[in-house]
A and B are shown apart, each in its own frame.
Chain A
Amino acid sequence: EAGVTQFPSHSVIEKGQTVTLRCDPISGHDNLYWYRRVMGKEIKFLLHFVKESKQDESGMPNNRFLAERTGGTYSTLKVQPAELEDSGVYFCASSHSSRDRGYEQYFGPGTRLTVT
């Protein structure tokens, strides 16, 4: 079974540019989560999709971040325009069911974003 994949693995962009991160969850997983780790800080929850619907986006830092999950399969996270403080590692995770939040979340390797 293929795991959660993320693309790209690294991205270096200039302040003011746009970047789109992609996450492919494990096939059949309805739940998809985005997290972010800024250097020196803990991993923080950004948002949660159930299929194509945003279930909880309380962790999104501001309106420069836009997440989509068209068709309930892969998801994209767009940052536009990027700021220096957006640098960090962006993780995606998926899980099988939304009924029990204790279900294991399977994480991707992350995308390291550097804004210069």
Chain B
Amino acid sequence: AQSVTQLDSHVSVSEGTPVLLRCNYSSSYSPSLFWYVQHPNKGLQLLLKYTSAATLVKGINGFEAEFKKSETSFHLTKPSAHMSDAAEYFCVVILEGGADGLTFGKGTHLIIQP
């Protein structure tokens, strides 16, 4: 079975410092992987997606993620955190041969300290 694991339920960083949100996946195939973000009282928004093209994927708002097959990881990074980045972030995979919907990690709350 394919799934995603987000290693941290909460991450706290100071404004202007780097962000690292960790995600590991388990898959027998080359998966399609995504990061979604949910700001308070808003719908989930796609940050970026990996679909077997370039392993370094750039997304919106300065975020990027690197697909590392050897480590089965798809960590999300940003060089410098902004207060507006405070939100919940979800690592997501599409199951091959499974249900039609997305499979979500448990989410990571990103807290930005002033």
Q: What residues make up the interface of A, taking CB atoms closer than 8 Å to B?
A: 3-4, 33, 35, 41-48, 55-56, 58-59, 91, 93, 101-102, 104-110
Confirm or deny: B102 has a beta carbon within 8 angstroms of a beta carbon on chain A.
yes
Contacts A102-B51, A109-B42; A42 near B101 (Cβ below 8 A)? no
**Chain B nearest CB: distance from A17 CB in Å?**
25
User: Which residues of B29-61 are within 8 A (CB) of A?
Assistant: 32, 36, 41-46, 49, 51
In the complex the two chains form, is A109's CB within 8 Å of B43's CB?
yes
How far apart sit A42 and B51, CA to CA, in the bound complex (Å)? Answer: 23
Q: Which residue of A has the minimal Cβ distance to B92? A: A43
Q: Which residue of B has the minimal Cβ distance to A104? A: B46
In the complex the two chains form, is A42's CB within 8 Å of B105's CB?
yes
Q: Which residue of B has the minimal Cβ distance to A4? A: B43
Which chain A residues lie closer than 8 Å to B102 at the CB level? 33, 35, 43, 45, 105
Interface core residue of A33, A43, A105, A107 (most chain B CB under 10 Å):
A43
Q: Which residue of A has the minimal Cβ distance to B51? A: A102
Contacts A33-B101, A42-B107, A56-B101; A108 near B51 (Cβ below 8 A)? no
**Can you list 25 contacts pairing A with B, beta carbon distance less than 8 Å?**
A33-B100, A33-B101, A42-B105, A43-B104, A43-B107, A44-B104, A45-B100, A45-B101, A47-B101, A48-B99, A48-B101, A56-B99, A56-B101, A58-B99, A59-B99, A59-B101, A91-B44, A93-B44, A101-B32, A101-B94, A101-B100, A102-B94, A107-B36, A107-B43, A108-B43
Q: Which residue of B has the minimal Cβ distance to A110? A: B43
Q: Which residue of A has the minimal Cβ distance to B104? A: A43
Which chain B residues lie closer than 8 Å to A44 at the CB level? 104
How far apart sit A33 and B43, CA to CA, in the bound complex (Å)? Answer: 14
Contacts A35-B101, A101-B32, A102-B32; A42 near B43 (Cβ below 8 A)? no
